Structure 1
Amino acid sequence: MRKGDGEEGERLLEVPLDEEKSTAIEPLQEKVTWKSLPHKKQLLLLALCRLSTPLSNACLLPYLYYLVKSILSDPNHASAPQEISRLTGLLAAAFPLGQMSTSMLWGRVSDSYGRKPTILIGLMVSVIANLSFGFSRTIGMLLFWRVLAGMANGILGVMRTMTAEIVKERRYHARAFLAPPLIFNSGRVAALAIGGCLADPVDNLPILFGPTGFFNFSGNPKGVDWAVRYPYALPAIFNGTILSFCLVLASFWLRESLPTKEKEWDLGIVIGKSISGFVRKTILRRSAPEYAPLQIEEAELFETNAPIGEASNSGSSTPITRKSYRPPFREIWTRDLLKTLFAFGLLPLHNSTFLHIFPVFLSMPSSTNEHTTFLKFTGGLGLASPTVGLYLATFGIGGILIQLFVYPRIHKRFGTIGAFRIANSIFPFAYIFAPYLALLSGNAKVKWPAMAGVLFAQVMARTMAIPSTVILLTEAAPRKSVLGTVHGAGNTISALASAGGPVIGGLLLARGIDVGAVGIVWWAWLCLIALFAFGWSFFLRNNHEERIDAEME
C-alpha cells in the first residue's frame, strides 16, 4: 500500500483477506434455526432488559384516557374529549422525548465505558420513574416521570448494539435481532393486559380492593385506602417489581460485550457464578465435572475486534490482535447510513402514533352519527380499559407467532429489504379503514371482526418492519467499533419521531372531534406517512445481501 493512500488504505488493511470467500460460502452452511442460534442465554438476558420499554410505555395505553380524565377537575365539561386527547398526546410524547435526549449520550458512553454498566444504570432509573409515576396525581408530575423514564430507556440503542456484538455471524442476525423483540412483544402483551386489568383496582378488582375486598384491612367503605387515592398505582408497582428483577438478573449474569472491556473482571459475574454454583450443588444436587469443556460463549471472549461480519480465521493457531479502528465522528455518517437512519425514523413516526391513537379511539365514547358522509363522522367505540388491554394483548400474541413462524420465512425468501417493503405496503391499508370502526360501534357482530382485521394488519406489518430496520441499520454501520454511536443515533431519531407522532396525532384527533371528522388523523397523517415510508424503502439497499447475490451469480 502506498503511503499516500491514507485512511482508505488503513481501512483496507482491516478487511480480512478471506472475507469475500467467507461471504460467498455463507449460504452453503447449515440451516439457521432457533436451536442453532448461539448465545441464547445472553440474548435472553438482554431481551429481558428490553422489557423496560414495553412496561414503561405500553402498560399505560389501555388506561391513559381514563387516567387523564380522573385528574381533570371537571372531566364532564363540553371540551373534555378534546382536552383529554391533547393531554394523552403530550403524555405519550414525553417518553420518547426523554429517549431522544439521552440516546446519543448512552451510545457514546457505552462505546467508552461498556455496554453492561450503561444498561444497569438505565434499568435502575427506569424502576424509580415507573414507581413514582403511579403515585403522581398532577399532569406536571406525570410528564416529569414520563420524561425521566424515557431518558432511562435511551439505552435501547445500546441493547441493539450488544445484540450485534454477542452474535457476530451475519447469518444468525435475522433470528438474533428477532429474539429481543420477541421478549419485547411478550412484555407488551403482558403490559397491555395487566395495565388494563390492574388500573383502578377498586372498580376493576373489587374482590381484592373493593369495600369488602380481601386487602381492605382498614374497612374503608370506599375500598383499599391507597388504591382509592392512587387508582393507577398498581400497574406501576407491577412494572417496578418486574424491572427490579430484571436488574438483578442483568447485574449477576449479563456479560460485557464491548471488545475493549469484555475481558475485564466483573464483580457481578463472580457473584452470579457463586449463586449458580450454590443452586446447582445444594438445591439441584448436581456436581460439576472436574474438567469442563470450554464453552463457545467463553471461547469467543478471546476473539478480536473485527469489522462487522468478519469470520474468525480457523487456520491460524494463534489469535491475531488488531487494534480497534474508530473513524472520526463526522466520517461515520455515510450516504447509505443516512438514508437508512431516515427510514428508521419514518417507521415510529406513524407506528407510535397508532399505538397511542388506537387505544384512545377504542376508549372514546361512541356517537350516533346520524348525518354521516364518506369522510365526515365521529366518535369512538366506548370500550372499558380492561377490554382495551385484553383485546390489544390478544393481538400482541399474534405478533409473537408472526415473529416466530412467519417473519423468518419471509426474510429467507425476500431478504431484509424485501421483508421491509412488504411490511410498508401493509400499513396504509390498516390506516385507511381504521376510522370506519366508529360507524360499527353499535353492531357487535361486525365490530369485533372489523377491529380484528385492522389490528392484525398493523401488527403483521410492524412485526416484520421493526427487526428489518434494525438489521438494515446494523449493516449500514461503517465499522463495528461505532455500532453504539450508530444505534444511539438511530434511537435518537426514532425517539424524536415517537415523540412528534403522538403529539401531532393527538392534536389532529382533537381537531377531528371538533369538526366531526375523526378520520382526519388517520388519513391526513398516518396513511400519508406510511405511503411515503413505502416509497422511501426503494431508495435503500443492503450491501451485504448485494455482495452475496453477486458471488452466487
Structure 2
Amino acid sequence: MSDFGGEEEGKRLLKARPLEERVTWRNLPEKKQLLLLALCRLSTPLSNACLLPYLYYMIKSILSEPEHPSAPQQISRLTGLLVATYPLGQMSTSMIWGRLSDTYGRKPVILLGLTISVISNLAFGFSRSIGTLLFWRVLAGMGNGILGVMRTMTAEIVKEKRYQARAFLALPLIFNSGRVAALAIGGCLADPVHNMPWLFGPTGLFNVAKNANGVEWAIEYPYALPSIFNGTVLAICLVLAALGLRESLPTREKHRDFCIIIGRSISGFVRRMVFQEHDSGYTAIQVEEGEVLTADVPVASPASETSTPTRPISKTSLRKIWSKPLIKTFLAFGLLPLHNATFLHIFPVFLSMPTFDNDHSTIFHFTGGLGLSSPTVGIFLATLGICGILLQLFIYPHLQKRIGTLGVFRLANFIFPIAYVLAPFLALLGGHAIAKWPAMGAVLFAQVMARTMAIPSSVILLTEAAPRRNVLGTVHGAGNTLSALASATGPVVGGLLLARGIDAGYVGIVWWCWLLVVALSALVWSFVLEKREEDGDALELEE
C-alpha cells in the first residue's frame, strides 16, 4: 500500500509541476541583470526621442531667415536629415560592436557605447550650426549601435527559452518608459527662459546674476538643458552598469571584474550605513542571482553516476545561418522601422507646423499643421506613450498567449494603415480648439497600440528564426543594421515628401504615398511568414 501511495503521490507532483513553473514576471530569473541591461537601453530613447518635440523649433532658431515663406519646407527637410543621421551612425557600427563583443566581451562594448552616448548628448545641446548638430547625431548613433549586443546579452543571461519572451519584453518596456519621459522632458526643458520663466526668466529662481532677459547661458543655448539632462541620466546608467552588470560572453564570464568587486563593496557599505546591518563576525560570500556555489569535492549527477564530457559547440557557416524562414523574418523586421521611424519623425513636426486656412480644401487638397508648442507636443506624445506601456504590460501578454506571436504581429500590421490614412486630416482641425484633441489622440493611440504589439513581436520572431543559439549575435547584429538602415531611409524620404506636399498644398502626400504604402506592404508580407510549432510552448506568456 505504501508503494502504491508513493507512486500516486509522485504522479500527483509531476502533474502539479507545470503549474508551479508558470512563466511570470515574478519568477523571471536574473531580474537584477536584466534591469541593469534595460537601464543601458535608455541610451536610445534619450538620445533619439528627447529632441523630437523641439526639433522643429531648434532648426527654426538656427536658420538665418526663420520667417521666410519657404521655412517650413526647409525645416522639414533638415529635420528629416537630422533624424536620419542617428540610425546611419547605428548602422555603421552595429556589426563592429557585435564583432568586438565576441572578442573582448559584451560588457566592455556596452560601457564604451554608453560613454560615447554621454559625450554626444552633452555636446548636441551646445551646438550652434547644422553641421555640428549632424556630427553629434552621427556620433550618438555610433555609440548606440550596441542594441544587437544587448539583445545577445539578454539571450545569454536568460538561457532557458521559456523565459526569453518576457526577458525580451523587459528591454522594450524600459525603452517605452524612457521614451515617454524623454518626450515630456524634452518638450518642457527646451527653451527654458520662455517655457519655465519662474526658473530661468528675468525673475526666475536660477537667475542669480539678475540678467534682464533671464539666465544668460539658457538664452545663448536654449536647447542645452534637455541635453544636460540626457547626459546626466546616461552617466548614472553608465556607473550602475560598470559596478553591477556581469559579463555574459561564455569565454570571459569567469574572468575577474574589479568593477563588480567595487560595486559589491559599495553595496555592502550602503547596507551597513543606511540599513544599520552590522558585521556578524563572518565574511559573507556574495552570490549573484544565477550564480551557483560549487565545492571542490565532485558531486554526482542525480541522473547518472558518471559525468558526460561536454561536446564542443560547432560553428555555423554564414550560408547555413541565412535560411529561408530567417530571410522572410528579416524582411518583415526591416519593413517595420521603415514606416514607424518615419511616423516618429513626421508626426511631431506635423504637430508643430503652423496652421493653414483650409476653407477651400478638397478631400485631398489641404495643407498645414496644428501649431502646437514644444511643451504641448512633448506632453501630448508622452501621455499617449503611457498607454503603450500599459498595453505592453497588461494587454500584450494575453494577446500573445491567445493568438501567438505571429498573430499579434499581423494584428499590429493591420492597425498601422488605419492610423496613416487618417493622420493628415488632422490639419483640417487646426483651428478647432476642442475637436482636434480627441482626433489627435485617436490617431496617435492607434499607432502607439500597433507599435507596442509589433516591436517585441518582431524581436521574438527574429530570435525564433535563428537556426541555432550560437548565431544569435550575428542574427541580431544584422537585424540591428537593417533596422538602422530603414530608420535612416524612412525619415529622409518622409521629410522630402512632407516638404513637397507643403509646396503643392497636399500635406497628405507623405502619409498616403509613403507610410501607407510601406505599412500595407508589411501587412501583406506578415502573411508570408510561417508560424513555428513551438511558438505557443517555448514562448508562452502567462500572467
Task: Tell me the TM-score normalised to structure 2 length.
Answer: 0.91
Cα separation, 2, equivalents of 1:482 and 1:301:
30
One of 180, 183, 194 as aligned partner of 1:189 = 180
The answer to whether the 8 A contact 2:404-2:536 is kept is no
Q: What pairs up with 1:254-273 in 2 under 5 angstroms?
A: 254-273=245-264
Q: Structure 2: how far apart are the matches of 1:321 and 1:431? A: 54
Q: Does 1:109 align with 2:100?
A: yes
2:24 paired with 1:33 = yes
Is 1:71 the counterpart of 2:62 in the alignment?
Answer: yes
| 1:284-295 mapped onto 2 (5 Å cutoff) | 284-287=275-278
For 1:180 and 1:140, locate their aligned partners in 2 and report how far apart those are by CA, in whole Å. 33
Q: Structure 1 residues 507, 189: closer, same or farther in 2, change over 3 A?
A: same
- The answer as to 2:225 corresponding to 1:225 is no
Provide the residue aligned with 1:298 in structure 2: 291
Structure 1, 325-334 or 216-225: larger mean CA deviation = 325-334
Deviation string 1:220-259 (CA, Å, 9 cap, x unpaired) is: 2221111111100000000000000000000010011112
Q: 2:366 is matched with which residue?
A: 377
- Residue by residue over 1:450-489, the C-alpha shift from the partner in whole angstroms, topping out at 9 and shown as x without a partner, is 1111011000000010001111111112222221121111
Partner of 2:303: 315
What is the CA–CA distance in structure 2 between the aligned matches of 1:94 and 1:492, rounded to whole Å? 14
Q: For residue 490 of structure 1, what is the aligned residue in structure 2? A: 479
Q: Tell me what 1:399 maps to.
A: 388
Counterparts of 1:275 and 1:293, CA distance in 2: 13
Counterpart-to-counterpart distance in 1, 2:85 and 2:91: 10
- Provide the alpha-carbon RMSD of the alignment: 2.1
Instruction: Please name the residue that 2:168 is paired with.
Output: 177
Is the contact made by 1:26 and 1:171 (CA closer than 8 Å) also made in structure 2? no
Residue number in structure 2 paired with 1:474: 463
Choose the corresponding residue for 1:156, options 147, 153, 161. Answer: 147
State the Cα deviation string for residues 184-216 of structure 1 (Å, max 9, x = none). 111111100000000001111111111222222
Aligned mate of 2:513, from 519, 524, 532? 524
Separation in 1, partners of 2:457, 2:17: 20
**1:449: how far off?**
0.6
* Contact residue 106 and residue 158 of structure 1 kept, 8 A: yes
- Bigger drift between 257-266 and 415-424 goes to 257-266
Which residue matches 1:324?
Answer: 313
| Pairs aligned (count) | 515
Change (3 A) 1:245 1:440: same
- Residue 355 of structure 1 is matched in structure 2 by 344
- Looking at structure 2, the residues matched to 249 and 217 of structure 1 have their Cα atoms a distance apart, in angstroms, of 34
Deviations 1:56-75 (A, max 9, x none): 00000000000000000001
Distance 1:546-1:239 versus aligned 2 partners, 3 A rule:
closer
CA distance in 1, matches of 2:95, 2:409: 25
How far is 1:314 from its partner?
Answer: 7.0
The answer to whether the 8 Å contact 2:162/2:537 transfers is no
1:445 maps onto 2:438 in alignment: no
Q: Which residue of 1 aligns with 2:6?
A: none
CA drift of 1:542 comes to 4.5
Q: How high is the TM-score relative to the length of structure 1?
A: 0.89
Paired letter, 1:124: T
Whether the 8 Å contact between 1:51 and 1:187 is mirrored in structure 2 is yes
Residue pair 1:193, 1:392 contacting (<8 A) in 2 also: yes
Q: 1:546 to 1:188 in 2, by over 3 A?
A: closer
Percent identity between the aligned chains? 70
How far, CA to CA, are the matches of 2:293 and 2:186 in structure 1?
41
Q: Secondary structure at the match of 2:97?
A: helix
Please give the alpha-carbon distance, in whole angstroms, between the structure 2 residues aligned to 1:119 and 1:156: 9
Contact 1:55 1:188 in 2 (8 A): yes
| 2:407 aligned with 1:418 | yes
Task: Assess, with a 3 A threshold, how the Cα gap between structure 1 residues 439 and 314 changes in structure 2: closer, same or farther.
Answer: farther
Out of 516, 521, 524, the residue aligned to residue 535 of structure 1 is 524
Q: 1:415 to 1:365 in 2, by over 3 A?
A: same
Deviation at 1:104, TM superposition (A): 1.0
On the 8 A contact 1:37/1:172 being kept in 2, the answer is yes
Letter in 1 for 2:381: L
The gaps in structure 2 that reach 5 residues or longer are: 1-15, 296-300, 539-543
- Aligned-partner Cα distance in 2 for 1:74–1:177: 47
CA deviations on 1:76-103 (whole Å, 9 max, x unpaired) are 1111010000000000101000001011
1:457-472 pair list within 5 angstroms: 457-472=446-461
Tell me how far 1:28 sits from its aligned partner: 6.7
Corresponding residue of 1:126: 117
Please report how far the alpha carbon of residue 44 of structure 1 lies from its aligned counterpart in structure 2 after TM superposition: 0.6
Q: How far did 1:319 drift?
A: 7.5
Identify if the C-alpha distance between structure 1 residues 126 and 78 changes in structure 2 by more than 3 Å, giving closer, same or farther: same
Q: Is the 8 A contact 1:326 1:479 kept in 2?
A: no
Equivalent residue letter for 1:524: C
Displacement, 1:338? Answer: 1.5
Contact 1:411 1:419 in 2 (8 A): yes
Match of 1:87 among 71, 75, 78: 78
Change (3 A) 1:65 1:256: same
